[in-house]
Structure 1
Amino acid sequence: MRKKVQSLAKSALLKDSVIYLAGELLSKAMPFLLLPYLTRMLGTDGFGELSYYLAIGAFLLIFMSLSQNGAITRYYYVYGKNGLGNLLLAGGLYSFAIFLLGVIISILQKSEGFFYCVLIAFLQSLVQNQLALRQCQKRPFSYFVIQISLAITNVIFTVGLFYLLNENKVIERLMAISLSYFITFSGAILLLKKTFDIRIRPTLKLLKLAIGYIITFGLPLILHALSYTVKGQFDRVLINERFSAHELGVYSAGVQVASVVTVLIMAVNSAGVPYLYERLKTGKIQLAHLHRAFWFSLAVPIVVTLFAYLLPLSLFTFVLGEAFAPSRFYTVFFVFAFSLTIPYLILVNYLFYHAKNAQISACSVISTVVYLLVLWWASVENMQFVPLASVISTAILLPLLYYFTKQIDKKK
């Protein structure tokens, strides 16, 4: 009987993993297929400017979201679905207040680009909450629908606005992303009322409690989120200041191609986290199992990077265009850097489960300081050294996380 239950659990995990993976692949495949169109329509300069604005939006998302998606997931597993509606509402109200502040700043700066960065961050935080709700309740198909909606509307609005307006293509691309998030969020809310049994009782006391929970959970993670985003986006901000828009465009294109690796990793992670938490709770998975998986996973980045290195240059020029041929160098480097996410997630998910947010933030800060130091040196010496910042900072992060996971086990 026990074997049958385990078999069913494994098959459910496999089924959900396939759906999550299909959703991630299809949702990212369309923007990836759009990449050759964007590189040719924007050129290296325009693509670099767009990357700069998207990097700014990523930093704004940290304060706009305050890790609400993580708070929703943890709340569900600790307290259940009672009060979850109030948590969603409180999170939306918090994000809206930050959004209004961002709008005021964009008006004072007279920056249309910054306004769209603020709008995208606001809408993205709302969509992230909807995805978190579906993930923790193991609704992979609903999760899949949201992802596909984002991908399809993103392509439709981008091509449509380029054709209809044909003025400032960078702004038009930002407008398309904003519309995509708005349409998808609206659809997700409609499905939420029909599919999920979640009640919202917005009394002032309950909203205060919900906002307090979000702030208590999210504030310790600001440094972690900021560190993560700095390592993922600050390089583009610095390159924009020290190098040309053309060089930033070539660099960003290489990073975007390499991000396919991240898509695959995060798809499996999205499917696996709910099952991991359940098995940690019941004791079916112990730290020793995770440590064993961690050591085996260290071989993956080497294998994947070798595969990327063997890809012909003609493939890159065919996909991106001749002007983006140097992007191949950055793609290979970042494939290795992004592959290190696998051992990272194995350890950090264990720490998240035990709510060791302070330890996670401390590790992230140390890693980020190393990243910034290497990045600063690399940007002075040679732009081709810039990817080293991602590799070295992650390599330092892994032993720190490993140490803190062992500390949890000792306390038990």
Structure 2
Amino acid sequence: MKIRLNNSTILFTVGAMIPKLMVFLLLPFYTHYLVPEEYGIVTTVNAIYSFLLVFMGLGYQSSTPRLYYEKNNNDYKVRIIGESFTIVSISSLLLMILLLIFDQQIGGIVFSKIPLSPYYYLLIIYSLSFSFQIVFQSLLRLEDKGKIYLKISILQALLLLLTNLTFVFFIEASAVSIILANIVATVIITIISIVYMFPYVKFYLKNRFEYKETFEHLKFTTPFVFHILSWSIFSVSDRIVIEKYDTLNNLGIYSLGAQITAVLMIVATSINQAINPKFFEMNAKLGYLKKDFMDKSILGSTIFLGVGAIVISKSINYVIKIVSSDQYNYDYEFVNFLLISILFHNLYMYFAFPFFQRKKSLSLTIITFSSAILNIILNIIFINIGDFELIALSTMISKGIMVLVILIYSKDEFSGYKLPLMKITLLLTLIIILILI
């Protein structure tokens, strides 16, 4: 059997990138009409909504591919998708109710300088609407429907563009308008997702005798909540700490630098999400991972992302002068640390595969969650002894330690595959030197 990066893999990679790149392309638009304080609010809300999605998704974001390939039976696969969507939908609605009941208490923890009304309530709506897309996106990858995925992604990008332009030009140029525009675009895609998922949910609900299996799956998937939560902590804790301990203006400056480097993270996660089902399929059919495929995936992505990181590092100050107003003028050298942390993140996604395959969700969660807590502690320490730029250094240190720990525990866990540690180390060291000089 031969598994390779086919046209669908490319379609999924491009499709995952398009909506996120549209946000990047809208940067000149945002920075022209929004002052740094308002832009900081928009990016912070966008970051926190991904944090809420962790709890709404109950870990099915990570576990669905593993469960899907557990049995080579079509009815089982349909039932898994229906189960995942049903559970995620129920948990999302329940969490929304709790967030509304305890709005003052939770909102006071989430926001310090950002007004609770309307941003907290917009955050809840935004998160809920996107939660219904979690399993839908996984399904399209698992069923290898790259063309549909690409069409949905293009539609989402166009909706983001049209709603942003409409709300700003015809309603108001403000942070509220931008967030509302994003919500409208998300809701339209959510409606499509629900319609597409209906047959799977219907099939799952009819098979009542399989409900016990659902609880077994929950036992496996729930620990992944803390695993995914760890990634959200990495992406949101920096904004929260700056919002609480610094100014909204500096939050806007940091957010702009982080947003540009996020382009590299988009590429990294898009490639990994497209390839990841191939890993599970290969392991399920062959019982091991082919060396040439794994080497090309790990080393190839490192080289590709490394070149991208070097280009961003050397050009970011020029890019920001072009895409933003004078209010955003700053030396964005701190993004070098964020770029390096993305390279660490990319390696981690590959090193963590054996933990998913062997259902060692608790072990993986302990590693990622401990690293995330370390990141929070370092964030608070660094911003109190220096300035907001050190938050980026905190992220790099935390992810570096996390990669080292996962490497120690995963190198002997791969099925029939040995990590090319020397090549990875030399390659990564060279890229980091070129970024920092």
> What band does the TM-score fall into relative to the shorter chain?
0.7 to 0.9
Instruction: Give 5+ residue unaligned stretches, structure 2.
Output: 108-115, 418-437
**CA offset digits 1:177-225 (Å, max 9, x no partner):** 22111100112333456xx777435269569547635632332122212
Aligned to 1:151: 157
Cα pair distance change 1:162/1:210, threshold 3 Å? farther
What displacement does 1:266 show?
1.6
Aligned to 2:340: 336
Aligned-residue offset at 1:382? 2.2
Question: Aligned pair 1:23/2:15, yes or no?
Answer: yes
Deviation at 1:254, TM superposition (A): 0.6
Question: How has the CA–CA distance of structure 1 residues 313 and 288 changed in structure 2, closer, same or farther, with 3 Å as cutoff?
Answer: closer
* Change beyond 3 A, Cα 1:100–1:295: same
Asked if structure 2 preserves the Cα contact closer than 8 Å seen for 1:254 and 1:329, the reply is: no
| Distance in 2 (alpha carbons) for counterparts of 1:287 and 1:359 | 25
Q: CA deviation at 1:411?
A: 12
**Is residue 86–residue 210 contact of structure 1 (8 Å, CA) maintained in 2?**
no
CA pair 333-266 structure 1, distance change in 2 beyond 3 A: same
CA distance in 2, matches of 1:164, 1:324: 25
- Matched-pair contact (CA < 8 Å) for 1:39–1:320: yes
Q: Equivalent residue for 2:242?
A: 239
- Of 157, 167, 173, the residue aligned with 1:161 is 167
When structure 1 is superposed on structure 2, of 265-274 and 145-154 the one drifting more is 145-154
Task: Report the counterpart of residue 186 of structure 1 in structure 2.
Answer: 191
Q: TM-score normalized by structure 1?
A: 0.87
Q: Quick one: structure 1 residues 69 and 373, their matched pair in 2 at CA, closer, same or farther if it must change by over 3 Å?
A: closer
Once the 2 structures are TM-superposed, how far is the Cα of residue 124 of structure 1 from its aligned partner?
1.5
Give the whole-Å Cα distance in 1 for the aligned partners of 2:70 and 2:415.
23
In structure 2, the residue corresponding to 1:78 is in which secondary structure? coil
Cα shift at 1:19:
0.8
State which of 204, 222, 232 in structure 2 corresponds to 1:229: 232
Partner of 2:251: 248
Give the counterpart letter for 1:91 in structure 2. V
Q: Aligned residue for 1:88?
A: 85
**Counterparts in 2 of 1:159 and 1:298: CA distance versus 1, 3 Å:** closer
Secondary structure at the residue paired with 1:138? Answer: coil
* CA distance in 2 between partners of 1:302 and 1:69 (Å): 27
Return the letter of the residue paired with 1:325.
N
Aligned to 2:203: 200
Structure 2 counterparts to residues 44-63 of structure 1, below 5 A:
44-63=36-55
d(CA) in 2 for partners of 1:299, 1:139 = 28
CA distance in 2: counterparts of 1:358 and 1:411, whole angstroms: 23
> Residue 139 of structure 2 corresponds to which residue in structure 1?
133
Query: What is the aligned partner in structure 2 of residue 42 from structure 1?
Result: 34
| Letter of the 2:88 counterpart | G
Alignment counterpart, residue 367 of structure 2, candidates 363, 369, 376: 363
Give RMSD over aligned pairs: 3.0
Deviation at 1:114, TM superposition (A): 0.9
Listed one character per residue, the Cα deviations across residues 67-124 of structure 1 (whole Å, up to 9, x for unaligned) are 2233332232114424132432232122112122223334886732111111111122
1:375 aligns with 2:375: no
The partner residue of 1:399 within 384, 387, 404 is 404
Percent identity (aligned): 18
Partner of residue 119, structure 1: 125
Unaligned 5+ residue runs, structure 1? Answer: none
**Offset of 1:369 from its aligned partner?**
3.0
Query: Which shifted more, 221-230 or 81-90?
Result: 81-90
Higher helix share: 1
Is 1:349 matched with 2:353?
Answer: yes
- Higher alpha-carbon deviation: 254-263 or 80-89: 80-89
Counterpart residue type for residue 387 of structure 1? A
* 1:404 Cα offset (Å): 2.1
Partner Cα distance (1:117, 1:214) in 2: 29
* 2: CA distance, partners of 1:55 / 1:28: 13
- Counterpart of 2:391 in structure 1 is 386
Aligned-partner residue type, residue 23 of structure 2: P
Distance in 2 between residues matched to 1:276 and 1:411, nearest whole Å: 13
Change beyond 3 A, Cα 1:258–1:409: closer
Asked whether the equivalents of residues 264 and 309 of structure 2 are also in contact (C-alpha less than 8 Å), the reply is: no
CA distance in 1, matches of 2:334, 2:47: 17
Say whether the 8 Å CA contact 2:289–2:415 is kept in structure 1.
no
Structure 1 pair 64–86 and aligned structure 2 pair: CA distance change class (3 A): closer
After superposing on structure 2, the runs of 4+ consecutive aligned residues of structure 1 that deviate more than 4 Å are 107-110, 196-199, 203-211, 286-303, 409-412
1:263 correspondence with 2:255: no
Residue number in structure 2 paired with 1:104: 101
Q: Structure 1 residue 257: deviation in Å?
A: 0.5
Residue pair 1:347, 1:405 contacting (<8 A) in 2 also: yes
In structure 1, the residue matched to 2:66 is: 74
Look up the equivalent residue of 2:102 and give its one-letter code.
Answer: I
Using the TM superposition, give the Cα deviation of residue 248 of structure 1 relative to its aligned residue in structure 2, in angstroms: 0.5
**Does the 8 Å CA contact 1:224/1:360 hold for their aligned counterparts?**
yes
SS of corresponding position for 1:187: helix
Paired residue secondary structure (1:326): coil
Q: Which residue identity is paired with 2:374?
A: V
Partner of 2:180: 175
CA distance in 1, matches of 2:288, 2:66: 19
